[in-house]
Chains A and B, each alone.
Chain A
Amino acid sequence: MHHLLPVLVAVPLLGATLLVTAGRHLPRAAAETVGCLFAAGTAALAIALLLNSSPPMTDWVGGWTPEGGESVGIVLVGDGPGLGMAALASLLTVAALAYSWHYFDEPPRRHAGSFPALMLLFQGGMCGFAIAGDLFDAFVFFELMSVVAYALTGHRVEEPKAVQGALSFGVLNSLGAYAMLMGIGLLYARTGELAMTKIGEGLDRHGSPDALTLAAFALVLTGLLVKAAAVPFHFWLPDAHAVAPTPVCMLLSGVMVELGAYGVWRVYRTVFSGPGGIPASDLEHALVVLGALTGLVGAVMCWYQRHIKRLLAYSTVAHMGLFLIGIGALSPEADDGVALYILSHAGVKAALFACTGALLDRYGSVDEHALHGRARELRGVAVLYVAGALSLAGLPPFGIGLGKAVLEEAVGGPLTVLFVAVSAVTAGAVLRVAARVFFGLGPRPDDESSYETTGKKEEPETRSRLSRVPDTMTAVPAVLLVLSLAMGAVPGFAAAVGHAVSGRAAPAPHWTLIGVLLGLTSTLLALGLATLAATRPKLLGDGAWTAPLRRLQSGHIGDYVAWMLAGTTLLAALALPTILNG
């Protein structure tokens, strides 16, 4: 079975090549069918491999197996978490392609294959990153998925906002990737190995950690945390997500950002967790500080957005903070919780973006204030939107609620307050949008804006404004939400996820009374916040105190780069006690 691991990357790349070469002569429906078939085939393969991933598979590509423990070959690792991320990325790609079916307007009109081809390349890069077993290939796949993501973000090249957002995204992520490569170079210099587990063994042989280990740790994590949009590496994310085409947003928010967090988990577990690496207490310290900061900044910024896509993007930032805290806990129970949380968050966030895309294509705006009460006729979309917002708050029995409950139990202590607050505020913001846009609740908010990005005068992504929302655009979010409901409600699913992630090290994730109560608490808080904000906007203030925070999000690449360097320094400082005590 392990010989099939490289096929997971090869199939989407082959499909992309086929679409690029033949796309010019294919009618649009044929190109889309080919794209969907290749994406779905990869998804099926990923799931088949995932079901056989215990014990984990290892494949040395091209038969370059180690001789006497030494190898220069490329190693792929097929274990539960890696193949799970590959399966998630593939399934979301299928969903995004289905969503864009027929209606999504693609700029190069004479080349129907270009958009599905880029999506397949993106899928190939994400699958490759998920199963890469050596650090250098992880870097190469990281760059492959990043470059395709820049191109997809700026896909509507005639949109001024789209190209600007794509450039910030590109510069920040590439700089992060180069920092990661510097770290990989340092690790290779120390150990002479590239395979992750081998680097870990090499570090342990060398003895206790020193300045080089610390530098490598900070540099490698910088690259991954830029991708994971941890504060202060996060500035590119709202800019990119606000401008990317909706099907691309579904993938960016649903799985690409999460792959950064997955990378942190994998690299720490395999490379730095031994006695020669960074002690667990330091990693926990670093990730909890960064995660709490990310959760707070994301939630505050999310609440004060009026551009709906930016609002959803900041909600992703906030939830990434919670994932990072969970990863920092370094316990099998927390891993299970994070895995469930990521899976169902992907479904819910993709569904919310899909619904927002329907608004954009129908009304040519994604501005909460301008759309006030205009979408009353879209009953189906409204139901989906509210369901998505409630599940984002952690309403039982949605999968997010279960994942969050397991995570809260594993992390415990005062951080539980943060978990409840972040999910209540982000879900409250989404509910407020739903209340205003779909139900016209409360007074019409005033329209003036001096500094922030509004969502007015956006171009629809379809050829012309839709007079009705097509069935594919509502079916895709509906299916995604049902799946994310099933993750929490079908008892066997959570147990299977737990088994794939942590084996028998932790009890199968299950609902507890406290978990249900905490989920209900954050849902009620979210409902209360949304009602208050929609009916009595003055009561919650106008957010003037957030002005300094909002000015940081300046859209200026230079500022973002400076923040990234500050973040790397912070990361190194948080892990510094290792060296001083070692």
Chain B
Amino acid sequence: MSVLPYLVAAWVFLVGCYGLATSRNLIHAVGCLAVCQSATYVLLLAVGYRDGATAPVFSDLKPGSRPVVDPVVQALALTDVVVGATVTAVLLALVLQISKLHGTVDPDELSELRG
């Protein structure tokens, strides 16, 4: 098993963080947060990967006849997707309100809270 998927996961996470730190648009920032989350999908699926294995679906597969990839991480990734959808929805709703009330979605121009 190569180390490449793990490096990709780390890179995707960091690039998302970079985007968040330098974002000039809050919608873009919420998108960057979703990029960070994609890193967790990559990592989880890489953890469960096995060479020469197939999907863990036993409808047309006799149990034990072929190796399958780890179904636990796939369940985790699915749950993770649901969590991510919820978070993104709530945050985008908040950005919408910010745009309506502040008249901008540029974080540099929000100055209500500081000090």
- Distance of A119 Cα from B20 Cα, bound (Å): 30
Q: Are B13 and A185 in contact (CB under 8 A)?
A: no
Q: Are B13 and A182 in contact (CB under 8 A)?
A: yes
- Interface stretch, picked from A163-171, A386-394, A488-496, is A163-171
Q: Are B47 and A164 in contact (CB under 8 A)?
A: no
- Distance of A167 Cα from B97 Cα, bound (Å): 10
What secondary structure prevails in chain A residues at the interface with B?
helix
* Number of A-B pairs, beta carbon distance below 8 Å: 135
Q: Are B114 and A557 in contact (CB under 8 A)?
A: no
What secondary structure prevails in chain B residues at the interface with A?
helix
Contact of B90 among A136, A150, A452 (CB under 8 A): A150
Q: Are A189 and B114 in contact (CB under 8 A)?
A: no
- Distance of A572 Cα from B11 Cα, bound (Å): 18
Contact of B91 among A167, A178, A559, A562 (CB under 8 A): A167
Asked if A517 is at the interface (CB within 8 A of a chain B CB), the reply is no
- Distance of A154 Cα from B26 Cα, bound (Å): 16
Query: Which of A178, A186, A551, A557 has the most chain B CB atoms closer than 10 A to its own CB?
Result: A178
Asked if A555 is at the interface (CB within 8 A of a chain B CB), the reply is yes
Q: Are A453 and B112 in contact (CB under 8 A)?
A: yes
Asked if A140 is at the interface (CB within 8 A of a chain B CB), the reply is yes
Interface residues of B in 40-56 (CB under 8 A from A): 40, 43-44, 47
In angstroms, how far is the closest chain A Cβ from the Cβ of B92?
10
- Distance of A175 Cα from B83 Cα, bound (Å): 12
- Distance of A222 Cα from B110 Cα, bound (Å): 27
Contact residues in A for B43 (Cβ distance below 8 Å):
182, 185-186
Q: Are A181 and B107 in contact (CB under 8 A)?
A: no
Q: How many interface residues does chain A have, given as a range?
A: 35 or more
Q: Are A161 and B30 in contact (CB under 8 A)?
A: no
A557 and B115 in contact, given A150-B94, A170-B94, A189-B47 (Cβ under 8 angstroms): no
Asked if B68 is at the interface (CB within 8 A of a chain A CB), the reply is no
A182 and B111 in contact, given A147-B86, A188-B47 (Cβ under 8 angstroms): no
* Nearest B residue to A160, CB-CB: B101
* Nearest A residue to B87, CB-CB: A174
Contact residues in A for B13 (Cβ distance below 8 Å):
178-179, 182
- Distance of A186 Cα from B80 Cα, bound (Å): 15
Q: Are B110 and A171 in contact (CB under 8 A)?
A: no
Interface residues of B in 48-68 (CB under 8 A from A): none
Residues of B within 8 A of A (CB): 9, 13, 17, 20-23, 26, 29-30, 33, 36-37, 39-40, 43-44, 47, 72-73, 76, 79-80, 83, 86-87, 90-91, 94-95, 97-98, 101-102, 107-108, 110-115
6 contacting pairs across A/B (C-beta < 8 A): A178-B33, A188-B73, A550-B114, A551-B114, A558-B23, A561-B21
**Nearest 7 A/B pairs, CB to CB:** A452-B115, A555-B113, A160-B101, A189-B47, A163-B97, A555-B114, A185-B43
* 18 extra interface residue pairs, beta carbon distance < 8 Å, beyond A167-B95, A557-B23, A557-B29: A72-B72, A147-B90, A150-B94, A151-B90, A159-B101, A160-B102, A163-B97, A164-B112, A164-B113, A170-B87, A170-B90, A175-B33, A179-B13, A185-B40, A188-B47, A239-B113, A550-B115, A565-B17
